[in-house]
C-alpha cells in the first residue's frame, strides 16, 4: 500500500532525497576507473580527443560546459523511411529490384535513371501511394519529372498526397564534372521552374536536392560538410526566391542528403547542428519567417569508411552509422551494402548483403525503437556542447565564403576541392600514426583475409571532386604484402 504522503507529495519534495553530485565527485569516479598514476586533471586530459575541425571532445561535461539553446524545431514521433538505391541501367532488372526491396520491408526507393522513357517500365506494379520514390536523373530532371507525373496520372495515384523527390541539383552536377561554370546559370533557372511545377502539381513532394554526401565521400570534415550544405542551400533558396516563390514554398522544396559514418556521437551532433543552421539561414533571409518546421533530411551510410579488408566489418560500420541517423532524427535512411566495393560477389551473396543492409533500419526501428523519440539526445551536456561548437565553427567557416557568388567561385576555382583533399590527408595520417583506429584496416588486420580481398573499382567522381576512402592506401599495402 502506498503511503498517503508519498502519493500526494509533489516531485520536488523527493529530489531532496538525492544529493546532487558535483563535478569534482564525477571526476573522482571517472579517474578511479582508469587506474592512472597521473593526477585527476592529467588523467582526464589524456583521454581528451580533438576532431579534424579542432573541436575538443571532453570526457566529462556539465551544465557550465555550454551556453546554448538549440532553436526549437517541430518534430513528431514517426517511422523512418527505409530507402534502397536502384540503378536503372536495365529497366526490367531495376523493376525486379524495386519490387523485391519493397516486399522485403523497404519503404522508399532512390532510383538513378538517365532515360526518362524507361521510367514507367522501372515503376511497373509499384504502388506509388505506399512507396516514396526519389529520382536522381541528372540533367534530365525536368523531362523525367514530366514522365513521372504522367505515370502517376495513368496509375490513378493521388497527386495531391504523393510524397516523392524529383531532385534537381545543379551544383552536384557541376562537382561531378557534368555542368560547366558557364552553363550553371541556365541550370539554376531550370531548377526554379522545376520547383514551381512541382509545387503546383505535387504539393507534398520536393524538387531540390542538396547532396552533402558527395562532399563527405570526398573527404570533408563535419564542419566542411555543414558549410557545403548551408552554402549550397543558400544558392538554391535565392534562385527560387528570385523567381517569385515564397519563402515557405522555397523552403519546403529542399531536401538535404547527408552521410554518417561509424562515429555515432559526432554523427548525431552533425544532424542536430544542421537543423540549427537551417533555421538560422531561413531567418537571415526572411526576418519575418517564423515556421520552425525541421528540414527534411535523408541520411545514407558513408561510402568513404567502407573497406575491402574484411568487408564484414563494414556491416558493423553501417550499424553505427544507421544508429546515428536514427538518434539524429533523420527522415530517411539509405544503407549501402557491406560488400559494395567487391567486384566478384556471387548473385546469392549480393542478395544476402542487400537484405542485411535493408534489415538494419527495420531492426533499429522496430526492435530497438530508436525512432520512437524525436531528438532523444536533447539535454545531454555533451551533445548540446558539441552541437553548439559545430554551429559556431560552421558559421565562422561560412564567413570565409560570405555570399552565394563566393561559394560558386570557391567551387569553380578548385579551392574547395583542394581543401577537402587536405582534410582527407589529415585523416589518413592519423590512421598511419595509430592516433585513429579503423578495425580491419590499420588495427586487427588478418593477413589471409587481406591477401584474398577482392578490390573493385573505386567509385570515383570526375576530377572536379574526387571520391576517397580512408582504407584505400592500407588495402594497397596489404595486398602487396607490405606493412604500412
Does residue 70 form part of some domain? no
> What residues have CB less than 8 Å from 411, skipping those under 6 apart?
171, 174, 175, 417
Does residue 48 form part of some domain? no
Looking at per-residue pLDDT, the higher value among 429 and 177 belongs to: 429
Bridge partners of 109, per DSSP, are: 84, 133
Does residue 356 form part of some domain? yes
- In the block, which residue shows the cell 566478384? 344
Range of the domain at 184: 81-392
Q: What is the DSSP letter of 293?
A: B
Does residue 430 form part of some domain? no
* Number of domains the chain is built from: 1
Looking at per-residue pLDDT, the higher value among 96 and 480 belongs to: 96
Does residue 431 form part of some domain? no
Does residue 65 form part of some domain? no
Measured CA to CA, the distance from residue 272 to residue 341 in angstroms comes to 30
Does residue 33 form part of some domain? no
Q: Using DSSP, state whether 81 is helix, strand or coil.
A: strand
Please state the length of the chain.
Answer: 484
Q: Considering only CA atoms, which of 370, 374, 364, 294 is closest in space to residue 335?
A: 364
Of the ranges 95-109, 134-148, 466-480, which one carries the lowest mean pLDDT score?
466-480
15-55, pLDDT tens digit by residue? 556 677 787 888 888 888 777 778 877 888 888 889 999 99
454 band by pLDDT with thresholds 50, 70 and 90: very low
Angle at 375 between CA 392 and CA 103, to 5 degrees: 125
- Which pLDDT belongs to residue 1? 38
Looking at per-residue pLDDT, the higher value among 116 and 309 belongs to: 116
Q: What is the DSSP letter of 55?
A: -
Does residue 180 form part of some domain? yes
User: The CATH number of the domain where 246 resides is what?
Assistant: 3.20.20.240
Q: Considering only CA atoms, which of 458, 429, 422, 448 is closest in space to residue 307?
A: 458
Amino acid at each position: 500500500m502506498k503511503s498517503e504522503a508519498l502519493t500526494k507529495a509533489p516531485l520536488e519534495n523527493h529530489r531532496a532525497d538525492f544529493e546532487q553530485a558535483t563535478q569534482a565527485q564525477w571526476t573522482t569516479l571517472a579517474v578511479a576507473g582508469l587506474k592512472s598514476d597521473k593526477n585527476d586533471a592529467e588523467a582526464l586530459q589524456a583521454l581528451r580527443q580533438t576532431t579534424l575541425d579542432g573541436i575538443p571532445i571532453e570526457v566529462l561535461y556539465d551544465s557550465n560546459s555550454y551556453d546554448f539553446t538549440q532553436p526549437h524545431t517541430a518534430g513528431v514521433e514517426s517511422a523512418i523511411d527505409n530507402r534502397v538505391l536502384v540503378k536503372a541501367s536495365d529497366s526490367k532488372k531495376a523493376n525486379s529490384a524495386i519490387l523485391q526491396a519493397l516486399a522485403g520491408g523497404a519503404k522508399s526507393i532512390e532510383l538513378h535513371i538517365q532515360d526518362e522513357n524507361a521510367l514507367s517500365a522501372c515503376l511497373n506494379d509499384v504502388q506509388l501511394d505506399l512507396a516514396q520514390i526519389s529520382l536522381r536523373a541528372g540533367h534530365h530532371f525536368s523531362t523525367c519529372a514530366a514522365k513521372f507525373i504522367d505515370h502517376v496520372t495513368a496509375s490513378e495515384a493521388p497527386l495531391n498526397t504523393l510524397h516523392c523527390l524529383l531532385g534537381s541539383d545543379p551544383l552536384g552536377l557541376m562537382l561531378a564534372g557534368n555542368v560547366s561554370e558557364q552553363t550553371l546559370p541556365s541550370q539554376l533557372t531550370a531548377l526554379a521552374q522545376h520547383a514551381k511545377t512541382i509545387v503546383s502539381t505535387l504539393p507534398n513532394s520536393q524538387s531540390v536536392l542538396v547532396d552533402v554526401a558527395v562532399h563527405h565521400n570526398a573527404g570533408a570534415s563535419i564542419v566542411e560538410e555543414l558549410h557545403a550544405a548551408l552554402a549550397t542551400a543558400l544558392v538554391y533558396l535565392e534562385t527560387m526566391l528570385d523567381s517569385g516563390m515564397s519563402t515557405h514554398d522555397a523552403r519546403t522544396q529542399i531536401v538535404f542528403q547527408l552521410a554518417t559514418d561509424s562515429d555515432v556521437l559526432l554523427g548525431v551532433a552533425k544532424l542536430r547542428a544542421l537543423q540549427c543552421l537551417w533555421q538560422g539561414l531561413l531567418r537571415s533571409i526572411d526576418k519575418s519567417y517564423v515556421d520552425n518546421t525541421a528540414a527534411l533530411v535523408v541520411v545514407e551510410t558513408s561510402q568513404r569508411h567502407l573497406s575491402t579488408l574484411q568487408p564484414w566489418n563494414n556491416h558493423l560500420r553501417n550499424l553505427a552509422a544507421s544508429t546515428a541517423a536514427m538518434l539524429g532524427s533523420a527522415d530517411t535512411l539509405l544503407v549501402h551494402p557491406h560488400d559494395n566495393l567487391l567486384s566478384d560477389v556471387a548473385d546469392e551473396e549480393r542478395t544476402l548483403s542487400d537484405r542485411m543492409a535493408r534489415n538494419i533500419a527495420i531492426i533499429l526501428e522496430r526492435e530497438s525503437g530508436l525512432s520512437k523519440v524525436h531528438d532523444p539526445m536533447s539535454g545531454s551536456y555533451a551533445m548540446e556542447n558539441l552541437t553548439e561548437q559545430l554551429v559556431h565553427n560552421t558559421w565562422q567557416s561560412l564567413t570565409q565564403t560570405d555570399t552565394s557568388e563566393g561559394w560558386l567561385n570557391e567551387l569553380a576555382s578548385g579551392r574547395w576541392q583542394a581543401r577537402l583533399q587536405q582534410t582527407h590527408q589529415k585523416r589518413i595520417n592519423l590512421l598511419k600514426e595509430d592516433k585513429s583506429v579503423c578495425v580491419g584496416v590499420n588495427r586487427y588486420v588478418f593477413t589471409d583475409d587481406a591477401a584474398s580481398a577482392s578490390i573493385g573499382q573505386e567509385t570515383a567522381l570526375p576530377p572536379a571532386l574526387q571520391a576517397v576512402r580512408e582504407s584505400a592506401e592500407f588495402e594497397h599495402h596489404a595486398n602487396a604484402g607490405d606493412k604500412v
